[in-house]
Amino acid sequence: MTTTTAPARTAAPATTTGAGRRRRRPFRLGGALLYVVLIVIAVIYIFPFLIDISTSFKTETDATNDPLGLLPPTWSVAAYTYLFANSDFPIWFVNSAVVTVAVTTGRTLFDSAAGYALARLRFGGRNALYAGFIAVMAVPGVVLLIPKFLVINQLGMFDSYSGMIVPLFADAAGVFIMKNFFESIPVAVEEAARIDGAGTLRTFWSVILPMARPALVTIVILSFQGSWNELAHFIVSTSSPDLYTLTKGVATLSSGAIGSAKRYPVQLGAAAIMTIPVAILFIAFQRRITNTASGAVKE
Amino acid sequence: MTSATARVPVRRHMAGIRRGQAASGYLFTAPAVIVLVVFLVIPIFMALWVSFSDWGGRGSPFASGVHFVGLKNYGALTGGGGLAEQDFGTALRNNLWFVILVVPTQTVIALLLAVLVNNRILKGRGFFRTAFYFPSVTSSVAITVLWYFLFNPTGAVNQLLGAVGLHGPNWPADASGVLHDLLSLVGLRTGPGFLVNGSFLGVTWWDWLSGPSVGMMIIITMVVFTTSGTFMLLFIAALQNLSQEVEEAAMVDGATAWQRFRLVTLPQLRTTLFTVLTLGLIGTWQVFDQVFVGSQGDPGKTTLTPAYLSYVAGFQNQDWGQAAAIAFILFAIIVFFTLVQRWVLRERGVSRRRMRRNGFDRNDSGEYAAADRLLTAAAVAGAVQNRDSSGGSL
């Protein structure tokens, strides 16, 4: 595929003008080919989501007979009526929201406090502790499913909000990100604050945290997305239908009693709605997210 | 405050600050440490005990009625000829093929996307990046539901295949292995005797060589679709860090674009490539969500994975000892393959000067740079997919 860019690139020195050194003529044969390739791939990546949305507005017959059409032959909101009026979907949504807000708040606080301490405060065992965080980060999540259930059960937290939320506070990767960030900002400001007599807690809260906004945004996005999309942890920490989250609930839509009837518009409508909050977050921070590793994470 | 005059009188004051610092240090790290110890470290040791016990799920695993059974749970999985062994072997076979297909594919696609999108003259880069990355942020549950709709027998995929004159299979119900299918095209329907008669972990050698089932292809395409965007971001970050000088020098020397990519760019991407492959390996050995939501191991147990099998053993069969044992074997597998990968892609005596020429920082010992980047990437990719289903990359 790099061959496609070749003409444009090699031709570049010839087309440079005095006005702009890096300005190259965009539309050469190679350039045009690049756009065609990219647009085709983009369509492949976007098309499934368009099908999802359009199918959720189809009748069940149309969903089966015309799975490709982007415009429903007859528009129907039956799927959404069912989801909101006749199913537990609203409960799932609320549960997901509660868990996500709690987990995001907790992680932001815990991660930034621990990251700050590891980056700046001097205390015995700091390096060992840091090594511990790194080691823990390497433990694969799925391997922990059965073990986590055992502990949650033992602590009497099974089937409760606390069992759903508190274990998700564990986030070594977030601590790592925050530590890296705090190490990248100048130490002068906080030392000035400390010498002015502000305690560590005070310095942290009113001097450090406001400065850490870019990194905090990172943690918020990762935590929000992580806990909103989490499935496995809720499978092992709850069983009561009252505590179903969107992920667990929608999973039962596709595999449970309803699934055998293959109510595709309902399934896909639910899938579309559960994607919206993350999509909003994603669009709001699109620049930050896709510009990769800038700002928060020290490269 | 660093001026020489200020330093002397401040010193005693600083000593007090240091003492305060130690206390705050413990206070600040305590919440994160406690949560990690209680819900990550202790569970591992508790599960280790359960994997050596006959605990049946009732009461505490430390109660007096629970016995130490040695390696019995592990033994049932790796030998004995029972159903447990056969299921475990099948799950390993399935996941192995899954890894073999997904890891190279997602890496190549991610690299391809990154190179395409990283082109400086490209307009609308933001749009393309967003389009390619979006599947990575959506929930695995939503994508699974969507994917099984696309791949249903009369679904979008088969309609598209029909449009070009192909008759698509009944994807979710077709348990036949893709390699077996290909071999049957050339008339080889049953394997040679030495493959059919011999077996490993309750699965004949012939069946080990089946390839992923048609049903598994649904999950394979889905995972490639959702992870390529995450890894694309890692490659983009790496590409942007490359020095332009080398590339330009090669250009002056008259290297073609492909030569420049293969001989100049690719060697410099080595560390990132290693990161992506490692994260890919770690992630693909943990397929769970997609199986739980989409297939529950069907068709014919060909989408059973060790992670899902562990869940079934515990939560459905109440065989917690075995469930924990599967989890630990899976852990060992992941560690093993990561080490193999590390060994295969090890640095072969790259000299300092060469590293510097390749754009490494002068003050870095290359090893540190590699480790640090891997960790950053791991953190950034949210330790990838299943950990929190967060493919988030910042």
Q: Would you state the pLDDT for residue B12?
A: 54
**CB distance A2–B260 less than 8 Å?**
yes
Q: Which domain holds residue B171?
A: 81-177+212-387
Q: Would you state the pLDDT for residue B368?
A: 38
Q: Would you state the pLDDT for residue A28?
A: 59
Q: What residue ranges of chain B have pLDDT lower than 50? A: 1-9, 349-394
Q: Would you state the pLDDT for residue B15?
A: 59
Tell me the pLDDT tens digit for each residue of A181-223: 888 888 887 778 777 777 788 888 888 888 888 888 888 888 8
Reply yes or no on whether the pLDDT at A1 is more than 70.
Answer: no
All structural domains of chain A with their residue ranges: 2-14+22-76, 84-290
Q: Which residue of B has its CA nearest to A249?
A: B141
Q: Would you state the pLDDT for residue A128?
A: 87
- For B185, the token pair is 């095209």
Nearest to residue B32, comparing CAs of A52, A64, A93, A167? A167
Q: Does B293 share its domain with B221?
A: yes
Chain B CB within 8 Å of residue A244 CB: no
Residue of higher predicted confidence among A141 and B32: B32
Q: Would you state the pLDDT for residue B388?
A: 31
Q: Name every chain A residue with its beta carbon within 8 A of the beta carbon of B251.
A: 9-10
Reply yes or no on whether the pLDDT at A121 is more than 70.
Answer: yes
In CATH, the architecture of A84-290 is Orthogonal Bundle (1.10)
Q: Would you state the pLDDT for residue A296?
A: 34
d(CA B279, CA B273): 10
**CB distance B35–A170 less than 8 Å?**
yes
Question: Which whole number is the average pLDDT over A138-162?
Answer: 85
Q: Which of A16-25, A226-235, B264-273 has the highest mean pLDDT?
A: A226-235
How far does CA B202 lie from the centroid of its chain? 26
**CB distance A274–B141 less than 8 Å?**
yes
Per-residue H/E/C for B291-322: HHHHHCCCCCCCCCCHHHHHHHHHHHCCCHHH
Kindly report the CATH number assigned to the domain that includes residue B123: 1.10.3720.10
d(CA B270, CA B297): 36
Spell B323-355 as b/e; 16+ CB within 10 A means b: bbbbbbbbbebbeebbeebeeeeeeeeeeeeeb
d(CA B279, CA B3): 47
Question: Which whole number is the average pLDDT over A6-10?
Answer: 41
By CB neighbour count within 10 A (0-12 exposed, 13-18 middle, 19+ buried), where does B78 fall? middle
Q: Would you state the pLDDT for residue B172?
A: 85
Structural domain count of chain B: 2
Nearest to residue A205, comparing CAs of A80, A138, A116, A268? A116
Q: Does B295 share its domain with B362?
A: yes
Average pLDDT, chain A: 80
Residue of higher predicted confidence among B393 and A240: A240
Q: Does B103 share its domain with B36?
A: no
Q: Would you state the pLDDT for residue B392?
A: 32
| Least trusted range by pLDDT, from A11-15, A120-124, A183-187, B104-108 | A11-15
Answer whether residue B159 is part of any domain.
yes
Chain B CB within 8 Å of residue A79 CB: no
Q: Does B90 share its domain with B225?
A: yes
A162 contacts B31 by C-beta, under 8 angstroms? no
Answer whether residue B104 is part of any domain.
yes
d(CA A13, CA A31): 16
Q: Would you state the pLDDT for residue A64?
A: 83
Q: Would you state the pLDDT for residue B348?
A: 52
**CB distance A173–B126 less than 8 Å?**
no
**Residue keyed to tokens 């369509």:** A43
Nearest to A173 among B24, B225, B379 (CB): B379
Answer whether residue B207 is part of any domain.
no
